[in-house]
C-alpha cells in the first residue's frame, strides 16, 4: 500500500542502510531504508513530499518503494529550525502507527507556509494547538474549568487535565482573559496574545515530553542569541 509521507528523522543503520522515521497517513512509522547512500537516499530528506510503500508487519518495517511526490521545500534560517521543531514534536508525541491524516495535511500546509516566509510564531502556535487537540489533550480557550465564559478582565492559570482555572491575584504563569479570548480567535493583533500563547503551549506540551528538553528548541534559542551578538 502506497502512502503520502514525509521524513521526520534519519540516521545511519548497519553498513549502507538508514533507519528512518516517517510521518504517513497511517501515522508515525519507523523503517529500514536499504542502499541509503544511493539515489533513494538522496530522496529521503526532511520537508520533501514523498510516496512511500512499506513492507513487513512488525514494528520495524522495510521501505519497499520510495519516490518523490513533489518539489522539496527549501527551508533556511529560523524557518529551518522551526521545521526541525515540528519534526521533533511529532517524533516525541505521536504514538507509533496511530493514524492522524488531518495532522499530516496540516503539517504539509505548515511546511509550505514556512517555505513561503510566513510569520513563524503564529504558524508554530497553530501547529502545537492542532497537535494537542488531535492527541486528545486539547482544552477550551474561551471557557474555564466550570464551563463558564472566560472573562476578559479576569486572570487564569492552566492546570493539566482540568483546563483554565480562575485565580484572584496576579502570580507567575497566569494568563489574562483577553489574551485567552484572542488565542481562541487566533487574533494575534491583541497585545500580548502571541507571547501568552507561547507560554501556554509550553505549559500544555511539557507533561507529554517526559521531562526531556527539545533539542530543536535549544538550537533555535542558540541561533537567536548568536544573531544578537
What pLDDT score does 216 carry? 80
What does the mean pLDDT of the chain come to?
90
What pLDDT score does 38 carry? 75
Summarize pLDDT for 4-20 with one digit per residue, the tens: 999 999 998 888 889 99
What pLDDT score does 224 carry? 63
* 204 three-class SS: helix
Asked if residue 228 has pLDDT above 70, the reply is no
Using 50, 70 and 90 to split pLDDT, how confident is the model at 226?
Answer: low
What pLDDT score does 223 carry? 59
Residues 80 and 84: their CA atoms lie apart, in Å, by: 6
Record the pTM: 0.90
What pLDDT score does 43 carry? 86
Residues 182 and 203: their CA atoms lie apart, in Å, by: 18
Q: In degrees, to the nearest 5, what angle opens at C-alpha 81 toward C-alphas 76 and 87? A: 120
Summarize pLDDT for 158-216 with one digit per residue, the tens: 999 899 999 998 888 899 999 999 999 999 999 999 999 999 999 999 999 887 878 88
What pLDDT score does 47 carry? 95
What pLDDT score does 218 carry? 73
Residues 70 and 72: their CA atoms lie apart, in Å, by: 6
What pLDDT score does 57 carry? 80
Asked if residue 51 has pLDDT above 80, the reply is yes
Give the percent of the chain with pLDDT over 70. 95
The residues facing 165 across adjacent strands are: 157
- 27: part of which helix (H) or strand (E)? strand 27-33
Contacts by residues 65-74 (CB-CB < 8 Å, ≥ 24 positions apart): 65/2, 66/33, 66/40, 67/43, 68/43, 69/4, 72/45, 72/47, 72/48, 73/47, 73/48, 73/111, 73/112, 73/114, 73/115, 74/47, 74/115
Asked if residue 40 has pLDDT above 80, the reply is no
Asked if residue 1 has pLDDT above 70, the reply is no
- Following DSSP, what letter does each residue of 1-22 receive, concatenated? -EEEEEEEEEEEETTTEEEEEE
Within 13 Å of residue 178, how many CA atoms lie on the same side as its CB?
A: 5
Summarize pLDDT for 91-122 with one digit per residue, the tens: 999 999 999 999 999 999 999 999 999 999 99
What pLDDT score does 225 carry? 65
Given the DSSP bridges, would you call strands 50-55 and 27-33 parallel, antiparallel or unpaired? unpaired
Give the percent of the chain with pLDDT over 90. 70
Amino acid at each position: 500500500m502506497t502512502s503520502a509521507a514525509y521524513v521526520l528523522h534519519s540516521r545511519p543503520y548497519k553498513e549502507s542502510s538508514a533507519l528512518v522515521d516517517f510521518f504517513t497517513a497511517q501515522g508515525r512509522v519507523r523503517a529500514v531504508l536499504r542502499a541509503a547512500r544511493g539515489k533513494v537516499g538522496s530522496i529521503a530528506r526532511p520537508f520533501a513530499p514523498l510516496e512511500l510503500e512499506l513492507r513487513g508487519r512488525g514494528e520495524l518495517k522495510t521501505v519497499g518503494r520510495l519516490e518523490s511526490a513533489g518539489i522539496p521545500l527549501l527551508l533556511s534560517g529560523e524557518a529551518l529550525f522551526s521545521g526541525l521543531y515540528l519534526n521533533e514534536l511529532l517524533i516525541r508525541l505521536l504514538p507509533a502507527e496511530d493514524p492522524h491524516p488531518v495532522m499530516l495535511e496540516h503539517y504539509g500546509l505548515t511546511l509550505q507556509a514556512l517555505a513561503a516566509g510566513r510569520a513563524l510564531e503564529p504558524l508554530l502556535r497553530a501547529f502545537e494547538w492542532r497537535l494537542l487537540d488531535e492527541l486528545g489533550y486539547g482544552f477550551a480557550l474561551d471557557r474555564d474549568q466550570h464551563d463558564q465564559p472566560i472573562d476578559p478582565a479576569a486572570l487564569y492559570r492552566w492546570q493539566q487535565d482540568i483546563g483554565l482555572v480562575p485565580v484572584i491575584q496576579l502570580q507567575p504563569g497566569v494568563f489574562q482573559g483577553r489574551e485567552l479570548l484572542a488565542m481562541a480567535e487566533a487574533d494575534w493583533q491583541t497585545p500580548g496574545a502571541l507571547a501568552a500563547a507561547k507560554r501556554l503551549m509550553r505549559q500544555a506540551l511539557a507533561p507529554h515530553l517526559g521531562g526531556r528538553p527539545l533539542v530543536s528548541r535549544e538550537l533555535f534559542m542558540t541561533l537567536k542569541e548568536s544573531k544578537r551578538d
